[in-house]
């Protein structure tokens, strides 16, 4: 049962950066309609860096743990670095084999982050 | 009664072993497995009688034609329709319901009319009616779940009775016979009688979950339409059945236009074929319709009363075990007799998707999700459920293996 490795369960049961921010620069949310995974992500941005990050959500261990792991990774990063952060890097951090049926779960938070960055760029223009 | 261990032997897929673990299939509400006789019938048609129907004069075309119509005769007997004119082949339940929405409802639902569905509907029996209501400026009402703690997961029949005395412009009640989430069997005979007491209201039954579990008698139910799917009752995918009362079908316009559904064709207009062919445009799914007869024969040989008894036995067995598991909540009615073999459950701290994944590591097939019943999930205040569902080939040993998988999931997630 590789999928439920200690790392994943730890992040699922003790999510990092969990909880909404008071004054986010941007808020994005999304849901996975098939299984009901839900995530909302808040970011505050200062000098083009991610200063604070917070999320809330419900759903399967993969979707929630992947979000938690991702927030740890990108906090304090520049938007440019966050933008270039790739799926493969995320998979590496997850460290478990994600079957095709679970890709949507694993990437829900990742797509949220990308959505936030696109919106931030639009705002800046 | 029959021995499900012997039944299992007739389903080749159930002897599959993956990574040294036998396949345990507990997702028949999604689609059932197929016995060898059904599989053979498909091969036999293609190997020996492959020809288009309703047109050839040659021998194999006549064979194909006869076999196709023989299935219609079997369906008629299986659901006790008055005539084969009332049996229309579609692709699935969804298409049958859409057929009624696009034809009958198009003619009969007007602005201000009311369509009633229930809180237990699969999206298949909800979205088409939402669309009719939007298009026609009609109202969609929903029979809620009972709030009485003694009757959880059953519909609030008092609400319906009251609503029908106060709202005379109800034109259609579209309701599922059995829920694909909670297993709840709705009192469709009583609901049909309530609908008909209004005068012009009709009732459509979604029989997707009931046809494989309960004896079906459309005349006894007195329903106007009854839609179901072959693939959930041991038959092939790609075949659905819509039963409709003859007088209604006669007055309905065709659903799809083209070959086979016409009588006379001129350059600028045409007239329609007789029932049921008026509703079967184009080349049909001949092979699978023919093979579907074998599924009906299989169920009929077991006896639908026996099928029901077997289902009840498994529900009772599973309930007794599941009720004793800490932190597990069942989303099913209190009485076995109020349900078919569909058991939804939740374990606090483990998402249904993860439960299904851990089941899969034991080669046990179950579903985790909203089961195409999102509004129902909201009614019962859960994002999703894990669901075990039974068919004639399931045994008590299958349930034991499922229970072990639950224990494994709880252990992995450290749930007491
Ligand atoms: C209650 C109910 N209605 C309708 C359907 C739709 O059946 P089909 O996908 O065969 O059209 C299903 C299938 O899951 C169902 O369970």
In chain B, what are the domain boundaries? 4-30+304-412, 42-300
How many domains, chain A?
1
Residue A123 lies in a domain: no
The stretch B377-401 carries a mean pLDDT of 95
A55 domain-assigned: yes
In a domain, A91, yes or no: yes
Closest Cα to residue B376, out of B155, B205, B133? B155
Which residue is closest to A99 within chain B, CA to CA?
A: B357
Assign residue A88 the CATH number of its domain.
3.90.1010.10
Supply B370's token pair.
């909203």
Confidence grade of residue A124 (pLDDT, cut at 50, 70, 90): confident
CATH fold of B4-30+304-412: 3.90.1150
Look over chain B and give the mean of its residue pLDDT values, rounded to a whole number.
97
pLDDT, one tens digit per residue, over B272-312 is 999 999 999 999 999 999 999 999 999 999 999 999 999 99
Listed residue (B407, B391, B398, B209) closest to B318, CA to CA: B398
Does domain B42-300 correspond to CATH entry 3.40.640.10? Answer: yes
Backbone phi and psi for residue A118, each to the nearest 5 degrees, phi listed first: -60, -45
- Report which of B328, B385, B292, B270 is spatially closest to residue B89, judged by C-alpha positions: B292
Q: Does B405 touch chain A (CB under 8 A)?
A: no
Test the A interface: residue of B21, B352, B354 with most A CBs within 10 Å: B354
pTM of the model: 0.94
Could you read off the pLDDT of B13-24 as tens digits, one per residue? 999 999 999 999
Q: Do B370 and A102 touch (CB under 8 A)?
A: no
Q: Is residue A23 part of a domain?
A: yes
- The ipTM value here is 0.88
pLDDT given at position B56: 82
Query: Domain range holding A47?
Result: 3-118
Q: Is the CB of residue B187 less than 8 Å away from at least one CB of chain A?
A: no
Cα–Cα distances in Å, from B390 out to A41, B334, B351?
A: 40, 18, 22
- Give the model confidence (pLDDT) of B23-36 as tens digits: 999 999 999 999 99
| Cβ contacts of B385 on chain A, cutoff 8 Å | none
């Amino acid at each position: 049962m590789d999928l439920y490795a200690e790392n994943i369960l730890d992040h699922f049961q003790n999510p990092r950066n969990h909880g909404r921010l008071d004054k986010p620069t941007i808020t994005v949310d999304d849901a996975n309609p098939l299984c009901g995974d839900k995530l909302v992500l808040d970011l505050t941005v200062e000098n083009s860096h991610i200063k604070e990050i917070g999320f809330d959500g419900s759903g399967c261990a993969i979707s929630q743990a992947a979000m938690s792991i991702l927030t740890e990774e990108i906090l304090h990063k520049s938007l440019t670095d966050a933008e270039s952060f790739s799926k493969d890097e995320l998979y590496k951090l997850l460290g478990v084999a994600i079957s095709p049926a679970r890709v949507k779960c694993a990437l829900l938070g990742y797509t949220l982050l990308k959505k936030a960055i696109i919106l931030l760029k639009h705002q800046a223009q | 009664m029959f021995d499900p261990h012997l039944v299992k032997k007739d389903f080749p897929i159930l002897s599959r072993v993956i990574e040294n673990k036998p396949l345990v299939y507990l997702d028949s509400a999604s689609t059932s497995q197929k016995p060898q006789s059904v599989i053979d019938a498909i091969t036999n048609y293609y190997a020996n009688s492959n020809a288009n129907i309703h047109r050839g004069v040659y021998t194999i075309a006549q064979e194909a034609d006869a076999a196709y119509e023989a299935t219609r005769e079997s369906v008629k007997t299986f659901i006790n329709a008055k005539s084969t004119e009332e049996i229309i082949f579609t692709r699935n339940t969804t298409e049958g319901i859409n057929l009624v929405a696009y034809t009958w409802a198009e003619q009969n639902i007007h602005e201000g009319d009311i369509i009633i569905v229930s809180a237990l509907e699969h999206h298949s029996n909800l979205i088409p009616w939402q669309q009719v209501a939007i298009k026609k400026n009609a109202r969609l009402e929903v029979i809620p779940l009972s709030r009485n703690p003694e009757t959880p997961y059953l519909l609030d029949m008092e609400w319906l009775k009251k609503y029908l005395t106060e709202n005379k412009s109800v034109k259609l009640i579209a309701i599922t016979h059995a829920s694909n989430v909670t297993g709840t069997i709705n009192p469709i005979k009583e609901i049909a009688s309530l609908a008909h007491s209004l005068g012009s209201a009709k009732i459509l039954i979604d029989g997707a979950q009931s046809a494989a579990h309960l004896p079906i008698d459309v005349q006894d139910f007195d329903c106007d339409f009854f839609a179901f799917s072959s693939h959930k009752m041991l038959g092939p995918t790609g075949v659905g059945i819509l039963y409709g009362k003859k007088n209604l079908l006669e007055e309905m316009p065709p659903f799809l236009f083209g070959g086979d559904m016409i009588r006379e064709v001129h350059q600028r207009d045409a007239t329609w074929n007789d029932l049921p062919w008026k509703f079967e445009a184009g080349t049909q799914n001949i092979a699978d319709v023919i093979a579907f007869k074998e599924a009906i024969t299989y169920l009929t040989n077991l006896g639908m009363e026996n099928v029901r008894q077997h289902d009840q036995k498994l529900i009772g067995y599973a309930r007794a075990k599941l009720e004793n598991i800490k932190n597990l909540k069942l989303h099913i009615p209190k009485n076995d007799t109020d349900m078919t073999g569909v058991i939804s459950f939740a374990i606090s701290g483990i998402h249904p998707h993860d439960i299904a994944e851990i089941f899969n590591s034991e080669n046990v097939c179950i579903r985790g999700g909203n089961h195409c019943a999102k509004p129902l999930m909201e009614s019962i205040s859960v994002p999703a459920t894990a669901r075990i569902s039974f068919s004639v080939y399931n045994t008590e040993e299958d349930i034991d293996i499922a229970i072990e998988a639950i224990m494994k999931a709880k252990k992995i997630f450290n749930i007491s």
